[in-house]
A and B are shown apart, each in its own frame.
Chain A
Amino acid sequence: MAKIKGAIVIDKEKCKGCGLCITACPTEVIALSPEVNSKGYNYATAVNMDVCTGCTNCSLVCPDGVITVYRTKI
């Protein structure tokens, strides 16, 4: 049976570390990095990309258009 696999790309310099994508992700792919970007925000980062389904929840709620989502069937 075909399985859906997703992946996200985060433009970390544009991220404001609001955390809304983390709350929206059903599979806990995203966390805030302990590192900060040049604006001083702890940016979002994919810590568990293996379980990403490419559902787009994270990118839909991101106010700053930081996340790009890809999805494929394997």
Chain B
Amino acid sequence: MADTISTKQIIKPENLVHKKSAVMTDTTMHYCPGCGHGTTHQILAEVIEELGIQENTIGITPVGCSVFMYNYLNIDMQEAAHGRAPALATAIKRLMPDKYVFTYQGDGDLAAIGTAETIHSCNRGENILIIFINNGIYGMTGGQMAPTTIVGMKSSTTPYGRDVSLMGNPLKMTDIVATLPGTYYVTRQSVHKPGNVRKMKKAIHKAFEYQKKKKGTCFIEVVSNCPSGWRMTPVESNKWMEENMLPFYPLGDFKVPEE
């Protein structure tokens, strides 16, 4: 080795800069290789650890690929019926207002079967955080079209691509909830690149801080991938997402509180 220090000398506790959060359990996640669900779990766990709120956070899991999320984060979690996570979060937060309460939902869960719960919780301004993983597809059930599937996008039920004249237009939930008076902070993020992961982390930090101040609903969309459903390698799926999803679902803040 050319340098004066060996790898062994660098790998010491005092030089540690990043490792898997202690809020994550040791259970191997069932997600496909490269799936953004895993990355988002890691970031969320990291923020919960940094804020020191592990004992005071309650998560609501959806139906979809992330249904077993409660096995992966070592916090209190409650499974909801398909799409009903915001309703359950509403009840839990109202009964335990000092807890940090979030939902974690896919686009099939949040934007199809759970559209009513999503919109009404946001409109009521429930003091919860909604994390919305938008991979443009129903991942768990075999890659069917979701309301979020972009025009031309292939899925198992749109093998020739989504055709607006037959299937209607894709639904932009984040744009919609940003118009509601009950939402306080609404943003669209991604976790496919290191810079995006850093921004996503800041967004979750902010959302929990606003929840502490009882500001209303915070809503974070994560434009994500589904390598298996999209029939791509993980690296290809992130590239496809960047080139095709992000122009339709541009990243950034939709509603920023006046500080």
Give the B-binding residues of A (Cβ under 8 A): 3, 5-7, 9, 14, 16-20, 22-24, 41, 49-50, 54-57, 59-72, 74
- Select the residue from A3, A41, A50, A64 with max chain B CB neighbours within 10 A: A64
Chain B residues near A60 (CB-CB < 8 A) = 18, 194, 197-198
Residues of the B chain whose Cβ atoms lie less than 8 Å from the Cβ of A74: 3-5
A70 close to B11 (CB less than 8 A): yes
User: Measured between alpha carbons, how far is A25 from B166 in the docked complex, in Å?
Assistant: 43
Q: Count the A-B residue pairs with Cβ separation under 8 angstroms: how many?
A: 110
Q: Tell me the B residues contacting A by CB distance below 8 Å.
A: 1-5, 7, 9-12, 15-21, 24, 28-29, 31-39, 41-42, 191-194, 197-198, 227, 233-235, 238
Nearest Cβ in chain B — how far from A29, in angstroms? 11
CA distance A61 to B42 in the complex (A): 9
Nearest B residue to A6 via CB reads: B10
Residues of B within 8 A of A3 (CB): 3
Residue among B5, B20, B191 with most chain A CB within 10 A:
B20
Q: Please determine whether A20 and B197 come into contact, CB atoms closer than 8 angstroms.
A: no
Q: How far is the CA of A65 from the CA of B36 in the complex (A)?
A: 12
Q: A7-B11, A62-B39 are in contact. Are A54 and B17 (CB under 8 A)?
A: yes
Whether B235 pairs with A23 at a CB distance below 8 angstroms is yes
In the assembled complex, the Cα of A61 lies from the Cα of B11 at a distance in Å of 21
CB contact between B194 and one of A61, A63, A68 (< 8 Å): that residue: A61
- Residue among B12, B37, B39 with most chain A CB within 10 A: B39
